[in-house]
A and B are shown apart, each in its own frame.
Chain A
Amino acid sequence: MTNRLEGRGIIPLLQVESVSKKYGENVVLANIDFSLQAGTVHGVIGQNGAGKSTLVGIISGIVVPDSGDVRVSDNPIEHGSPRAALSAGIATVYQELSLLPELAVYENMFLGDEIVKNRRLDSSEMIEQTRALLSELGGYGIDAASRTWRLSLAQRQIVEIARCVRRNVKVLILDEPSAVLGSNEISTLFELIKRLNARGTGVIYISHRLAEVEQISDQITVLRDGCTALLQSRENFDRPKLIRAMIGNESSFRETAHTKISVTNAFSVDGLKLHNNDEVGISFTLLRGEILGVAGHTGSGRSRLLKGLAGLGGVIGGSIEIEGVKYEGKDLKKLKGLSVRYLPEDRKKLGLFLDRSIRDNIVVSDVSTLSKFGFLNFKKIMLISQEFFIKLRIRAQGLDQLVARLSGGNQQKVLLARTMLSAPQVLLLDEPLRGVDVGAKTEIIDAIKSHVALGNVALVVSSELADIIALTNKVLILRNGATHSLMSKPNLDENELALAVENS
């Protein structure tokens, strides 16, 4: 390998040689080789748990590998030292943005590397330099002196990247950079990446959105189960092959057959009002086995509708009907024991107990039905959590594993298992497919569909229209907390839907 490269006279900017990492018995990376040339983008894709985060961790010095080497321009980097990695020119922009909201933009830009004059921070110099750099990268309307929490997510990401640029970063790692961005913002990001490439910066682009990775990368590495499953260069990108390499077998990527819809009304919403304005309330009817997609811009009331139906408040008027029984919208907050379950948008903050086991997380909402005289019935708990563990194909060492140590897709499955445990007639799912890789996505879609096929209904909010199309029979588009339009299959396709949402 080295010989061949030397023969070509190119020493890669970054070279990772036969790196391995085990956590206990669990092999996360097995003998990975990886290289990045200056001025190019190397995409890394793979399912959750394939080893992407560990690879990033090793390159950026946060994870200590069991064996192997990381070199920048042929100089080995000390393992497990973020400082050494930084000074070698490696920087990472994480999926969870890591700017401190309380600090000013320029303070974040210079954090850890401040300009000090006479033992005092030289704020005006730092602001000046931040301004110059931001405008060089394209401006994006960011005020260098503003508090960081005032910026939009996209702006914060640009600040993070600019921070790396300022440090003369040679290797920039972007971990799921597009997860928080809209499509306009993604093209801005790509523009920025191209500019960095022109400056000679190498970029490692990690994402589960294959289309994006294909668009921006010069090379793609597919990781699966800790091994390199495939390495392709731009001239021979082959999407089916990439997907196959990612998932292992193609069969799990099949289009699931649509379930039969019976003609009984299962769930209807009549004139539900979320706002005290003149708009007509939201109304729709779902038959048993139907899934309603809820779309609209951010702030259009998608999440509020779900929360309201889940009894978390915010409903001003109207009524709902479940299996022929009518409930007043205003009373939803007080009613208990409705067969309705809600999956919140942010699984880590609002849903999961990260420090508890998978089992505890699955059963926590239903412990009262799983106990006798106030004591937990462990046999029942084991049986039912095992059932969902298998049904949802949660990939973990066992039911006792802590949820914090699962990948995003598997965490989402645990939360979904909790939501479905009591076999609710109405499922309310807010962004169930966000931050979930292709493989887990298919499995989650399958699980939702098979739950609904038993005669239940579901409402699904998603900002990814492709997901809505894959899941649902009808789509409700909201605007300002009221109905904008209602579209239904068969004449539902992604373009039309995108247009409708755009115009809402």
Chain B
Amino acid sequence: MSMNLETRIGKLKDDGQAIWLTVILLIVIAILKTDSFATSRNLTNVLGQYTSLMLVTAGMLAVVVTGHIDLSVASQVRLVAVLMSGVADGNNIKFIFALVLVTVIACFVGFMNSLIINTFNIDAFIVTLGMSIILEGAAYAYTEKGEGSIPMSVSDFVYGSVGPLPYVFMIGIGMLVFLSQLLSHSRTGLWMYAVGGDSAMARRSGIDIYRTVTKSFIVCSLFTMIAAVVQVSRQGIGAPSTGSGVELLAITAVVMGGATLGGGKGKVSAVVGGAMLLTLINNVLNLTGISQYWQTFVRGLIVVAGVGLFSRRLLKR
């Protein structure tokens, strides 16, 4: 009986249904227990906040699927944020230029992460941690408090919405659809799962491991870059503290969404459910009005419980 239950839970987790059911449950509780949750303003706000974490999480999944991890995403957000606001400096034309610049930087960072991992055969954990420190240093060297600003027109766009759905959220969903197609219906995606599942075996099948891993890191950096642009546009000015801690949130979301850090498993639709859960917990705790410190405390408890419940530990094969 208990085995039966476990396999059933496992099945739910496979498709990410369990995590979305929990999200719905939390929404129901929030609607019943708070007055302000179901307002259009709050929903738009939640989805706006969610978009950044959702994109970083999806990017992280690409790396996790190949059996690696990217701890440098938070510092990538920092650097992109300060550069966007510093270079754009309130000007639309310069904003386009800044966008091109950070795109190039994102590709370069992703490429370097994978180059170092592949060439020297060092664990991604160490390499991306080092990269994180380097980028953080670069961001602070550029500006300590933040410089310049994002053009008003861009900020207006970022806060704009159709009903409760922000434009950026819809763009983000478009990107998720793209990533999910890439992972499950393209050769590159299949190779990512294969490399993460068993790299020796992938090599024997004639798969180019280096190139596959490089693609996954570049995808991750590009998604992170877009997330950072959204984030800094909401803030108006990019401070080097932007994005603090987002790497751990994204990894938590990925694990809650049923991916394994060992690689070879994970679905976009499920891991962004993890990101949604984390965002909602934050929002609901905020609405309850308990003190900030206790919020942090409770959030920690919920994350541990959530990972325990949703990660693949229970799923025995």
Instruction: Mark A residues whose CB is within 8 Å of B.
Output: 60, 62, 82-83, 86, 92, 98-103, 107, 111-114, 116, 119-121, 123, 149
Contacts and interface: CB of A to CB of B under 8 A. Distances in A.
A121 to B, nearest CB: 5
A114 B207 CA distance: 11
A311 to B, nearest CB: 22
Contact of B186 (A86, A100, A121): A121
Given A102-B197, A103-B190, A112 B207 contact: yes
A312 B190 CA distance: 39
A211 to B, nearest CB: 30
B190 A111 contact: yes
Given A114-B187, A121-B190, A98 B206 contact: no
A111 B207 CA distance: 8
Nearest to A100: B197
A99 B197 CA distance: 9
B185 A111 contact: no
B265 interface: yes
Contact of A121 (B185, B201, B205, B317): B185
Contacts of B187: 114, 116, 121
A82 B191 CA distance: 17
Given A100-B201, A112-B207, A120-B185, 4 more contacts: A100-B193, A100-B264, A111-B194, A112-B194
A141 to B, nearest CB: 20
Interface string B201-233: 111111100000000000000000000000000
A283 to B, nearest CB: 28
6 contacts: A82-B206, A98-B198, A100-B193, A102-B193, A119-B186, A123-B185
B279 to A, nearest CB: 28
A99 B264 CA distance: 12
B198 to A, nearest CB: 6
Contacts of B265: 102
Given A82-B204, A111-B207, A112-B205, A101 B317 contact: yes
Given A100-B201, A103-B190, A112 B206 contact: yes
Contact of B206 (A62, A99, A113): A113
B205 A111 contact: yes
Given A62-B204, A82-B206, A98-B201, A103 B185 contact: no
6 cross-chain pairs, A with B, having the tightest CB-CB distances, nearest first? A112-B205, A112-B206, A100-B197, A98-B201, A111-B205, A120-B185
A102 B185 contact: no
Contacts of B205: 111-113
Interface SS of A by simple majority = loop
Contacts of A113: 205-206
Q: Report the interface size class on chain B.
A: 20 to 34
A121 B194 CA distance: 15
Given A116-B187, A121-B186, A121-B190, A103 B204 contact: no
Interface SS of B by simple majority = helix
B317 A114 contact: no
A94 to B, nearest CB: 8
A62 B190 CA distance: 23
Contacts of A119: 186
A83 B207 CA distance: 9
A99 B204 CA distance: 11
B12 to A, nearest CB: 16
A82 B203 contact: yes
A116 B187 CA distance: 7
Contact of A107 (B190, B203, B206): B190
B264 A102 contact: yes
Contacts of A83: 206
A170 to B, nearest CB: 16
A60 B205 CA distance: 11
Contacts of B194: 100, 103, 111-112
Contacts of A116: 186-187
A215 B190 CA distance: 40
B206 A103 contact: no
A389 B204 CA distance: 35
A101 B315 CA distance: 14
Contacts of B203: 82
Interface in B158-195: 181, 185-187, 190-191, 193-194
Which one of B190, B201, B205, B265 has the greatest number of beta carbons of chain A within 10 Å? B205
A355 to B, nearest CB: 15
B186 A98 contact: no
B167 to A, nearest CB: 28
Contacts of A149: 317
B309 to A, nearest CB: 21
Nearest to A81: B206
Contacts of B198: 98, 100
A20 B265 CA distance: 41
Contacts of B200: 98
A121 B182 CA distance: 10
A99 B194 CA distance: 9
Nearest to A98: B201
A328 to B, nearest CB: 25
B264 A86 contact: no
Contacts of B181: 120
A122 to B, nearest CB: 10
B207 to A, nearest CB: 5
A103 B196 CA distance: 11
Nearest to B189: A121
Contacts of B204: 60, 62, 82, 92, 98
Contacts of B207: 111-112
A83 B203 CA distance: 9
Given A82-B204, A86-B206, A149-B317, A120 B197 contact: no
